[in-house]
Amino acid sequence: MKPRNRGHEADPLITTVTLNPMLDKTVRVHGLVRGGITRATGTGMVVGGKGINVSRQLRMLGVETIATGFAGGEIGDLLERLLDAEPLRHAFVRVAGMTREGVTYLDDEGILTGVFEPPHDVTTEEVGTLVAQCGEFGKESHWVACCGSSPAPAADDAYARIIQAMRACGVSTALDSYGTPLRTGMEALPDLVKVNRHEWEATFGERLDSEGAIVDVLRAQRARGVRVAILTDGAAPCHMAAGDQLWKAIAPRVHTVNATGSGDSMLAAILYGLEQRWEAGRCLMFGVAAGAANAAAWEVATATRSAIDALVPQVLCTRLS
C-alpha cells in the first residue's frame, strides 16, 4: 500500500503507528440535561489517536512524518478525508471493522464530558498486513513510534512485532502505550519508552509513590537496553533516564485550556530533539515545554516552535545523576 500524500513529496523521517484511532467530535452546549434534550451551540471534528497527535506535532516542527494504523468503514473514510484536509500524510491499513467515534461535550464552564465508543475488532491477518507495511516504511524512517492502546486481543502484540522488525533493519523505535501492548512491547526492547505513572502502575501492579521508586524503574529500563526511559505524571515532575544521566523536569505553569495530547506533543518534541542530536537535558526541557504549550491551547498537538521555545526557559530541569 502506498502512502496517501497530499503535497508532501519527501520521504518520511518518522513513522507513527496508532492501532486504535478515533473520530473525535466536540459538541458545545450550555449544559447537559440528563433525561432531556440538550441543544448544541456548536460542533467540531478531528482525528484522534496518540500516534496521530505525535505526527501532527512533528509536522508543526517541520519534521516529515507519516501516520499509519487501522481504519475501517465509513468512519475510517471520514478519518482519512479529515487527515487529507489538514494535510497530514497517512497510510492506514483498511480493516473490516468500523473505526470508533468519541463525543466530548464542552459546557459553558469549560467542563468536558466524554463518551467513547468501544473499538472495532481486528484479525490476525490485518495485524500481519500492518506489521509488513511498517517494515516497508521503516526503510525510509529514522524512527517508528508505536502509540496508544490496542483495539482487540489480536493486536496486543502488534507493537512488539513492529519493534522487533525495526530492530532487524536498524531503525529506532519509541513506545507509548499501556496494558498488554506496553508489557509485550517493552519485552521487544524499544529504544525509547514514555509512559504515564498511573498507566505504569496499572500495567505492572507496581506503586511508584516516591521519587526513589521512579528512579529505580527508569534505571531498570536502562539496564535492560532501553536507550531513553521517560515517566510522566501529569502536572507533577517528569523523569527521564538517558545514557548514564537521570533528569527531573517541572513544567511551567500555564492556563490549561485542553490538556488532551500533551503527552503526545511531548514525545514528538523529544523525538525532534533526538533527531537534532541535542543532549538529553535539552530534549527533556523542549518536550516538557511542548506539553505545556499544547495544554494552553484548544487545538491538539499544534503548538508552534515559537510557542514552545517561549516556555523552555520556564522549565525547571535538574540533573539527578
pLDDT tens profile 263-281: 999 999 999 999 999 999 9
Mean pLDDT of 243-262: 94
Q: At 3, which amino acid appears? A: P
| Rounded Cα–Cα distance for residues 7 and 3 (Å) | 12
Q: Is the pLDDT of residue 9 over 70?
A: no
What is 11-178's CATH number, 3.40.50.20, 3.40.1190.20, 3.40.80.10, 3.20.20.220?
3.40.1190.20
> Residue 140 in 3-state DSSP?
coil
pLDDT at 143 over 90: yes
CA distance 99 to 119: 7
At residue 4, does pLDDT exceed 90? no
pLDDT of residue 12: 52
Mean pLDDT, residues 6-29 taken together = 81
- Host H or E run for residue 319: strand 316-319
- DSSP SS3 for 63: coil
pTM of this prediction?
A: 0.93
* Residues 274/283, Cβ–Cβ less than 8 Å: yes
Q: Taking residues 166-195, report their average pLDDT.
A: 97
Provide the pLDDT for residue 32: 86
What integer is the mean pLDDT of 194-205? 96
Instruction: Give residue 125's Cα distance to chain centre.
Output: 25
Q: Quote the Cα angle for 278-188-145, to 5°.
A: 45
Question: Which residue ranges make up each domain of the chain?
Answer: 11-178, 191-321
- Per the listing, cell 528512579 goes with 215
Q: How far apart are CA 83 and CA 6, in angstroms?
A: 10
The average confidence (pLDDT) of the chain is: 94
Is the per-residue pLDDT at 113 higher than 70?
yes
Q: Does domain 191-321 have CATH number 3.40.50.300?
A: no
- Residue 6: is its pLDDT beyond 70? no
Pairing of strands 192-196, 228-232: parallel
Q: Do 11-178 and 191-321 show the same overall fold?
A: yes
